[in-house]
Amino acid sequence: MAPEVEKSDKEWKSQLSPEQYKVLRKAGTEAPWSGQHVHNHDDGTYRCAGCGAVLFDSATKFESGSGWPSFYEPAVADAVELVQDRAHGMLRTEVRCRKCGGHLGHVFDDGPQPTGQRFCMNSLALEFEPKT
């Protein structure tokens, strides 16, 4: 499915920091424990740093011990797109923002109930909006 928000590489590079560009547009990964949202426990909403789409609610965030912010489900079911990822010699499920196609991280089946999923996201791909 084609993303709703389409920009040229030049436009993405002008909008995002080099680190955000590497994660969102080139499917990079930030170092574990380095992200600004790993230890955030405030109430609010996590949005895509590329397009502002609502992705996750703080009520679904949990401490996974992985070094990346983790959630057990998206705020809206169709906010993300799941894509098979065979990079680095392993089979994983990549999570992308459905609106702009930006790489967010990966989802694993070792999370808590009620879903059993762990959406392991890069802080660089997210912007936090505190609840007012």
**CA 48, 40, 49: angle at the middle one, nearest 5?**
15
Q: Is 120 a catalytic residue?
A: yes
Q: Are 75 and 62 in contact (CB under 8 A)?
A: no
State the DSSP H helix or E strand holding residue 12, giving kind and residue range, or none if neither: helix 9-15
Name the catalytic one among 48, 97, 100, 120: 120
Q: Are 71 and 79 in contact (CB under 8 A)?
A: no
- 8-state DSSP, 39: T
Active site residues: 120
